[in-house]
Amino acid sequence: MSTLELVSQKAQELIELEKVIDEKQAELKEIQNKYKRISEEDIPSMLSEIGLSEITMSDGSKINTAQYYSARITPDKQEDAFGWLTDNGHGDIIKNTVSISFGREEDDSARELADELTNKGLDPTQKKWVEPMTLKAFVREQVENGNDLPLETFNVYIGQKTRIIKK
């Protein structure tokens, strides 16, 4: 068999493997969706129906549900979110970084600017954001304390999640 024929054979094998990977990924996504539905909908609603928050299985494992929070600031709502945080005394959770990129042969200009800013006590770089875990904790705190929070601005989702604690 020639090298060209071997390459062709391997290419065909690669194509078949891509198909298998796509099928397995679709199967995994379906399993993950089922897991999420049972964990976040079925078990929490069943426990709620019978008025329990936790049960102990015959093997000693405990099953309970806990509230969880998800939040994120999308680019289209960033201005509103930052404005609300600042106006309501929470601006300190906003990170603000400034940076400048220089092209080739601009090393002298970059060094001069960096020195000038450093001499002014500044460290240049700019990007504005709220750390995801900080935002999540902030949202949980605000909701649990009953504080007014524009949920849509922060894309807040509050749900129940099942926890299984094995003995």
**Predicted local confidence at residue 112, as pLDDT:** 85
In 3D, which of 88, 110, 91, 109 has the Cα closest to residue 99?
110
Greater confidence, 121 or 8?
Answer: 8
In 3D, which of 65, 69, 68 has the Cα closest to residue 163?
65
pLDDT band at 125 (very low <50, low <70, confident <90, very high): low
Query: Full-prediction pTM beyond 0.75?
Result: no
Per-residue b/e over 34-66, b at no fewer than 16 CB within 10 Å? eeeeebbeebbeebeeeeeeeeeeeeeeebbbe
Is it the case that residue 98 has pLDDT exceeding 80?
Answer: no
Distance (Å, whole) CA 111 – CA 100: 11
- Taking only the tens place, the pLDDT of each residue in 12-36 is 999 999 999 999 999 999 999 999 9
**H or E, element range at 126:** strand 126-129
Distance (Å, whole) CA 136 – CA 123: 28
Is it the case that residue 123 has pLDDT exceeding 80?
Answer: no
**Predicted local confidence at residue 37, as pLDDT:** 97
